[in-house]
Structure formats: structure tokens, C-alpha cells
Amino acid sequence: MDATDYGRLFDLSGRRALVTGGQRGLGMGIATALASHGADVWICSEDGTGCADAAERLRIQGLTVRAVTSDVTDRAALSAMVERVTAAGPLDILVCNAGVAPHAGPITSASDADWQATMAINLQSVLWLAGMVLPGMAGAGGGSMIIMSSIAGLRGNRALGLYGLSKAANAQLARNLAVEWGPANIRVNAISPGFIRTDLARDLLSNPAFMERRMAMTPLRRPGEITEVAGVAVLLASAAGAFITGQNIVVDGGTVITDGN
């Protein structure tokens, strides 16, 4: 590998990507990062207007981003969305970011509806997308699938047990798919963010008591930034991560490894 090859380690020019839940937060950040490194990106959301507006904001910045609408819990709708996105050719990068946490509290208090919504969006849709996208990816010579997990899936949690259960399953799904699709040159990895500065975290970020307690549990003593998660996605999607598969990469400032001091 010469200097030119090293310079292309993170180059995604000519790659085609789909990011579910891509209209805001981490999904939007990942889509922006992939497009900034040259990828042709589709962002997907159930909110058609919001998704189209998000894509337009990125196009104004000179990025190649398009919007597509789909309910990821509707298998037929998801299949139609994938068919549209892959009409011009198979995907090289699939980022499964759509997720919900409808239940807060002890896991045994979750309703059947909470369970169904959490598992349908956070887990079932990811498995469906793998079945719809990876065969075409394999036929084109390979690619990268990235599943968004969470540190909630790595430890017990008083408030987000059901969400954490789905995210632990996401990490295991990444390992399984990595074994199944590795011979086809498809890499599958998970990313587990910790406490990240997003709009959804706004109330917690403005809560001094929570921040003091949480930052004491985080060796870097600060929340993470969306760009710091998006950068890992670029690594996993690019040649720089070409020998990484079946991993759950934790991006949490050290929260899960600390003794809290």
C-alpha cells in the first residue's frame, strides 16, 4: 500500500448507502458523514416531510442525499423502499439506525404493545433489511452493514430494560450476520453509543443533578458528540475498517469500563 492508498482509507466515493432513521440525531449525523466522504446516501424515515426537508438541507451543502419514506414495521413497505433505493444498483453500505424506547421503568411492567413496538422497530426491521439488502450486496462483491446498538444492551438498567434487551439482541445479530455473510465479503458490525449530545437528550443535558452524576461515571467527563459516533460509522463503512467484522464498538467516553470514581 502506497501513500495514495493510505489517503483513500476513508474515501466512500461511488458507494451507495441507506440510513434508516436518518432524518435527525445520530442517523442524520451518520448520513452527513457518509455523504461528506463521497457516498451517495439515501435517508429513510416514516416522516416523509421531515425526511425530505433533512435531505434538502444536506443537498444545499453540496452532498448527495435523497429521502425515502417507509414504515420499518411494515414488511411490504420496507421491501418496496429497498426496491426503490436499489433500482440503480445494490447498496454498498446499510446503516440500521431506526429505533424507539416506548417503555420506561421495570422491564416486567412493559405492556405487550411496548414489547411489540420495541422489538418490531429495533430488531425485526433490522433482520428484514438484512434479508432484503445483503444478497444484492453480496452479488456486487461485498459491503458493510452497521447496526446501531447501545450501552443499554451491555449492562442492567432500571429504566430502559426493554430497550436494552433489544439492543443486546442487535449486537448479537451483528455477530451472527458477520459469520453468515463474511464469506461473501460483507462485514457486519454494531455501534453502541453512550450518552450523546442530541436533541432527544436536551432535557437531561440541562439537568445539573443528572449531569453531575452521569459525568462522574464517565472517565472523559463529558457527553459524546454526534460527530464522534458518525466517525466510527465512516470507519466501519470504509476501507479503513475492511478487516473489522462482528464487533460491537462502544462509543461512550469510557462509561461502561469505569468504577464510577
Q: For residue 238, give the C-alpha cell.
A: 470504509
Q: How deeply is 183 buried, as exposed, middle or buried, from its count of CB atoms within 10 A (0-12, 13-18, 19+)?
A: exposed
Residue 70 lies in a domain: yes
Q: Amino acid identity of 23?
A: Q
- 3-state secondary structure (DSSP) of residue 217: coil
260 is a domain residue: no
Nearest to 232 by CA among 96, 42, 33, 36: 33
Measure the CA–CA gap between 256 and 145, rounded to whole angstroms.
Answer: 24
**Distance between CA 186 and CA 233 in Å, rounded?**
15
Q: Which residues contact 228 (CB under 8 A, 6 or more apart)?
A: 196, 251
Give the whole-number percent of the chain exceeding pLDDT 90. 93
CB atoms within 10 A of CB 146: 28
In a domain, 258, yes or no: no
- Asked, for residue 220, whether it belongs to a domain, the answer is no
pLDDT value for 2: 75
Please write the tens of the pLDDT for every residue from 65-92: 999 999 999 999 999 999 999 999 999 9
pLDDT at 4: 76
Instruction: Compute the distance between CA of residue 37 and CA of residue 30 in angstroms, rounded to an integer.
Output: 11
- 22 within a domain of the structure (yes/no): yes
Is the pLDDT reported for residue 260 higher than 70? no
In the chain, the number of structural domains is 1
Residue 4 lies in a domain: no
The alpha carbon of residue 22 and the mean position of all alpha carbons in its chain are separated, in whole angstroms, by 9
Tell me which DSSP letter residue 254 carries: T
Per-residue model confidence as pLDDT tens digits over 10-57: 999 999 999 999 999 999 999 999 999 999 999 999 999 999 999 999
What's the CA gap between 38 and 13, in Å, rounded? 4
- For residues 224 and 228, what is the distance between their CA atoms, to the nearest angstrom? 7
- pTM of this structure: 0.96
Catalytic residues: 163
Domain around 161:
10-197+225-250
Q: What is the pLDDT of residue 261?
A: 62
pLDDT in tens, 166-207: 999 999 999 999 999 999 999 999 999 999 999 889 999 999
pLDDT 10s digits, 126-181: 999 999 999 999 999 999 999 999 999 999 989 999 999 999 999 999 999 999 99
Q: What distance in Å separates the CA atoms of residue 10 and residue 141, rounded to the nearest whole number?
A: 19
CATH number at residue 152: 3.40.50.720
- Given a contact cutoff of 8 angstroms between Cβ atoms, the answer to whether 41 and 17 are in contact is yes
Element (H, E) at 250: strand 248-251
- The reply to whether 37 falls in a domain is yes
Confidence of residue 7 (pLDDT cuts 50, 70, 90): confident
Residues 191-250: pLDDT tens digits?
Answer: 999 999 998 899 999 999 999 999 999 999 999 999 999 999 999 999 999 999 999 999
DSSP 256: G
The predicted-structure confidence for 93-110, as pLDDT tens digits, reads as follows: 999 999 999 999 999 999
Return the C-alpha torsion angle 147, 150, 156, 162, nearest 10: -60
Q: Would 107 be classed as within a structural domain?
A: yes
Give the pLDDT band of residue 1 (cuts 50, 70, 90).
Answer: low
- Per residue, the 3-state secondary structure of 176-188, as one string, reads HHHHHHHHHCEEE
